[in-house]
Amino acid sequence: MFLYRAAPTLSPVEYMVRSHRLRWPELLPWLAILAAFFAFPSYLALGAQVMIMVLFALSLDLVLGYAGIVTLGHSAFFGVGAYTAGILAAHGWGEPISGLVVGGAVAGAVGLVTGLIILRTRGLTLLMLTLAVVSMLGEAANKAGWLTGGADGLQGITLDPLLGLFHFDLFGRTAYVYCALVLLAGWMFVRRLVHAPFGRSLTGMRENTARMHAIGAPVRQRLVTVYAIAAALAGVAGALQAQTTQFVGLNVLSFELSGAVLIMLIFGGVGRLYGAFVGAPIYMVAQDALSRLDPEYWFFWVGLLLVVTVMFARGGILGVVDQIRRKVMR
Amino acid sequence: MTSALETRGLRKSFGAMVVTSGVDFRLAPGARHALIGPNGAGKTTFINLITGRLTPSAGSIHLAGEDVTALPQSARVKRGLGRTFQINTLFSNLTVLENVTMAVSERLGRGGDKFRFAGSRRDIVEEAYELLIRLRLAEDALRPVREIAYGRQRLVEMAIALGLKPRVLLLDEPAAGVPSAETAVILEVMEALPADMAVLIIEHDMDLVLRFAKTITVLVRGAVLTEGAPAEILADPRVREIYLGEGHHG
């Protein structure tokens, strides 16, 4: 959304033609990622996990924030990506980048097929169907213990050096840089997508489906397309997690993970592209700190934080930042 | 001559309730045609059948001679059918300019582009902005639609429809909810529509209908009561009794 921020020194056409240009705050996450690498060398493993969750939340933002598809089953694609890359690596296919691509492709295919079926519905029915998809996949992974390791989890994942050069070291330096580069590519891709006519039309469908139909947009086709794209991205995030932790547990195909990524996005701000970059780190760090403080009931505090966010800061943290900025500008 | 739009035996029922019963209707190319009738006559249902929001129970719909009864909404729009809504149906959090750009972009088949920035098509944005100038919306171009007055939002409805460059334009109560002082702008816009565009207007405001329409069709209880030039319709005692007697808001 191009909010009318400063005095219009530009003509409206000029303003809109330039709307996709990079602004300096968009570089902040990358400075933070770079700084963290040097500032917290003993937390690089956590850092890699945070970036994976950012990518996962970013993919959810496409579906939920832009297209307005409310889903509680987004972990299905994270899980499929994780198991695909994990199973490949456990069976001798240890080359990381191809594993990532295959993980994303398989998740995208699952997104395409399930999307074609469930995106005929809307609202509560759709919500239930997204839940059903992840439940079914979770149960399937549990049953197919010979392939997935079942409840014990998938073990024996070994990775080749990245590009044949960089070994995945104990300190997680390679993993951190690897995750950062994949996230950078994912961000560039999503940013381009949401500023393209396709992304604008997703916002249009969220804002007013009837109007999108009336201007001749193939609404359902676009919804299925974005669902599949987001699924592929979520699959890449899952594959990254399988590769960097060298373990896949059944929790990747759980409703809890879908809920967690949704909460991350709501914390940060939905439909803003950068909500994922704010919400995921806060959630992960809060989880880390709170679970040490209160190992049994830490989720209570997350819940409380969520209640406060949705009651007093509907646009998430970035929404609050926007409000403050607008007040200052006036 | 082939009609710009035609319905043959168009029928729609919801269970036992028949809301459109066997409507034969023709809209000539370049027509200025009004559809009037008391509340509940099935006018909006008729529009929704034509655009494809609703599926008819029987009968057929033809655009420039082509049977489009089985086609989805988007395919009918691609064949030159544009509409406005009785109740503003806009992208209220997007700017006025974005609202119209969206329509122009879809018309040119660019709405699904994924890897080029929307702003890189300056021609599309410029076309949308020119429409805003024509409709006197230019000063609001960068304001979110929700922030502008209702009457001006009605103009955005028109701008979006015009962005599609339709051959057939359906205007569903374009002046609904607009203070009478502001209907003049809407009428002005309607009068400036291209002569080759066939326009069908549904309107309660009889002053507006009489000033704009060359032909009037009266719909009562889902069926065509009569059709003719404004003078004939006004002189028809049945129309005076059924419509002007009770439903006149003008």
- Predicted-complex ipTM score: 0.88
Say which range, A66-70, A303-307, B21-25, has the weakest mean pLDDT. A303-307
User: pLDDT by residue (tens digit) across B57-73?
Assistant: 999 999 999 999 999 99
Tell me whether B143 touches chain A (CB under 8 Å). Answer: yes
**pLDDT reading at B250 higher than 50:** no
Instruction: Report the pLDDT value the prediction gives residue A8, as an integer from 0 to 100.
Output: 52
Please give the Cα distance from A2 to A15 (Å, whole number): 9
Mean pLDDT of A62-88: 95
Q: Which fold has domain A25-329?
A: ABC transporter involved in vitamin B12 uptake, BtuC (1.10.3470)
Q: What is the DSSP letter of B68?
A: -
- What one-letter code names the amino acid at A222? R
Instruction: Report the pLDDT value the prediction gives residue A171, as an integer from 0 to 100.
Output: 72
User: pLDDT by residue (tens digit) across A18-60?
Assistant: 888 888 889 999 999 999 999 998 889 999 999 999 999 999 9
Q: Which of A174, A181, A180, A186 is nearest to A246 (CA)?
A: A174
User: pLDDT by residue (tens digit) across A98-137?
Assistant: 999 999 999 999 999 999 999 999 889 999 999 999 999 9
- The nearest alpha carbon in chain A to B143 belongs to A4
3-class secondary-structure state, position A196: coil
Instruction: Report the pLDDT value the prediction gives residue B170, as an integer from 0 to 100.
Output: 96
- The more confident residue out of B37 and A162 is B37
Contacts of B121 in chain A (CB under 8 A): 197
Please give the Cα distance from B142 to A15 (Å, whole number): 8
Instruction: Report the pLDDT value the prediction gives residue A1, as an integer from 0 to 100.
Output: 44
Q: Which of A272, A263, A275, A260 is nearest to A306 (CA)?
A: A263
**pLDDT reading at B160 higher than 90:** yes
CA atoms in the 13 A half-sphere facing the CB of B248: 13
Question: Which of B116, B144, B160 lies nearest to residue A215, judging by beta carbons?
Answer: B160
Domain ranges within chain A, ordered by starting residue: 25-329
Strand-strand pairing, B32-36 and B198-202: parallel
Q: Which of A302, A54, A214 is nearest to B85 (CA)?
A: A214
- The nearest alpha carbon in chain B to A192 belongs to B115
3-class secondary-structure state, position A92: coil
Q: How many CB atoms lie within 10 A of CB B178?
A: 22
**pLDDT reading at B176 higher than 90:** no
What the block records as the tokens of A44 is: 């690089």
* Nearest chain B Cα distance for residue A207, angstroms: 5
- The more confident residue out of B129 and A153 is B129
Instruction: Report the pLDDT value the prediction gives residue B115, as an integer from 0 to 100.
Output: 85
- The more confident residue out of A6 and A327 is A327
Q: How many CB atoms lie within 10 A of CB B149?
A: 12
Contact B89 A215 (CB under 8 A): no
Distances (CA, A) of A222 to A207, A260, B92, B172: 14, 26, 21, 27
Instruction: Report the pLDDT value the prediction gives residue B249, as an integer from 0 to 100.
Output: 46
Which of A200, A219, A322 is the mutation pick for testing B, counting most B CBs within 10 A? A200
Q: What is the DSSP letter of A161?
A: P
Contacts of A197 in chain B (CB under 8 A): 105, 110-113, 116, 118, 121
**pLDDT reading at B54 higher than 50:** yes
> In the structure, what pLDDT confidence band is assigned to residue B244 with cuts at 50, 70 and 90?
low
Q: Which of A191, A165, A190 is nearest to A177 (CA)?
A: A165
Please give the Cα distance from A54 to A278 (Å, whole number): 8
Mean pLDDT of B187-206: 91
Sheet with B168-172: strands ordered across: B81-84, B168-172, B198-202, B32-36, B215-220, B223-228
* Nearest chain A Cα distance for residue B168, angstroms: 13
CA-CA-CA-CA torsion sign (A87, A89, A92, A98): positive
- The nearest alpha carbon in chain A to B109 belongs to A217
Mean pLDDT of B11-30: 91
- The more confident residue out of A215 and A94 is A215
Question: How would DSSP label each residue in A41-81?
Answer: GGGHHHHHHHHHHHHHHHHHIIIIIIS----S-THHHHHHH
Instruction: Report the pLDDT value the prediction gives residue B181, as an integer from 0 to 100.
Output: 79
Contact B118 A200 (CB under 8 A): yes
Instruction: Report the pLDDT value the prediction gives residue A2, as an integer from 0 to 100.
Output: 46
User: pLDDT by residue (tens digit) across B111-151?
Assistant: 888 888 887 888 999 999 999 999 989 999 999 999 999 98
Sheet with B66-67: strands ordered across: B17-27, B5-14, B58-63, B66-67
Q: What are phi and psi of B117, to 5 degrees?
A: -65, 145
Contacts of A215 in chain B (CB under 8 A): 77, 102-103, 106-107, 160, 163-164
**Domains recognised in chain B with CATH numbers:** 1-80+166-250 (3.40.50.300), 93-163 (no CATH)
User: pLDDT by residue (tens digit) across A158-182?
Assistant: 887 878 777 777 678 889 999 999 9
Contact B126 A13 (CB under 8 A): yes
Tell me whether A208 touches chain B (CB under 8 Å). Answer: yes
Residues 156-195 of A with CB under 8 A from B: 192-193, 195
Q: What is the DSSP letter of B118?
A: G
